[in-house]
Amino acid sequence: MATSNIRIKKVCQWCGNEFEAQKTTTQYCCKRCAEHAYKERKRQEKKKITETLDSLTARENKIIQLSGRDYLSVAEVAQILNVTPRAVYNLIYRGTIKAYRLTSQWAVIKRADIDAMIEARPYERKPKATALANDENGEAISEFYTTKEIIEKFGVSNSWVFAQGKAHNIPKVYHRGKTLWSKSHCDRVFTAKPETPKEDDWISYSDVRAEYNLTHDQLHNYVKYHGLRRRKVGKYTYILKSEIDAILRPPTLK
């Protein structure tokens, strides 16, 4: 086989000496340097595997130690769930898990609340994508809203759409990763005037913060994210006690 007449000046990746190569992919000046480089790569791969295994073992031991504690910090909960602390804070702000603020920079979470959160939210497999749905009379539904269209038309939040869909059993289908809702049912549900709550059903922001040990920003995030009804009386803001209790009351294990 004929050799190339091309000579390319390169620097050996192992010894650092300059040499002439016949191919652009050549990295070493001789066989000895190539063998040394190969052995070094294998040593580094073995070292990386050992460090990874040691790291996993240390993490498992840490989780075992945390499993016996009743109260955990946000960082420790993040280790148990294998997520970032920011993800844990998002769960707290959404009301998915309850936290207790002891100081301005110290919050703890009960281990029992973590187990309750997981038990209350089993994985539910969505039905296969379909474009067919029937109403109460068994007639096929042909007109649908997307979730985004409902939010824009009726001025409600994303969570409120799914909450009302579940409460009123609105027929829905799944198409290309989107949820489609029956148009006629949505028009009837979201345009209906809600029943006027009684005076005893309203609770002030200050009372909610005192009862659930929340900051003003946390409570505001709950109200905004879940689309809770509220009213303003003078300088005080009130929300429905039943709605905030449904979010912040810890789930009951069966």
Nearest to 141 by CA among 175, 164, 166, 176: 175
d(CA 232, CA 145): 32
Question: What confidence score (pLDDT) does residue 132 get?
Answer: 61
Residue pLDDT tens, the chain, 254 long: 455 677 889 999 999 999 988 888 889 999 999 999 999 999 999 999 998 888 888 777 777 777 778 888 888 888 888 889 999 999 888 888 888 888 878 888 888 888 888 887 777 665 554 556 666 666 778 888 999 898 888 887 787 788 888 878 888 888 888 888 888 888 888 886 555 556 668 888 888 888 888 888 888 888 887 778 777 776 778 888 888 887 777 655 44
d(CA 215, CA 198): 26
Domain assignments of the chain as residue spans, ordered by start: 14-57, 68-125, 144-190, 199-248
Q: Please name the residues in contact with 2: beta carbons below 8 A apart, sequence gap of 6 or more.
A: none
Q: Spell out a b/e string for 224-242, using b for 16 or more CB atoms within 10 Å of the CB, else e.
A: ebbbbeeeeeeeebbbbbe
Question: What confidence score (pLDDT) does residue 43 get?
Answer: 93
pTM of the model: 0.37
Question: What confidence score (pLDDT) does residue 63 get?
Answer: 72
Question: What confidence score (pLDDT) does residue 163 get?
Answer: 80
Question: What confidence score (pLDDT) does residue 70 get?
Answer: 84
Q: Domain 68-125 adopts which CATH fold?
A: Arc Repressor Mutant, subunit A (1.10.10)
For the record, the structure tokens of 76 come out as 């420790």
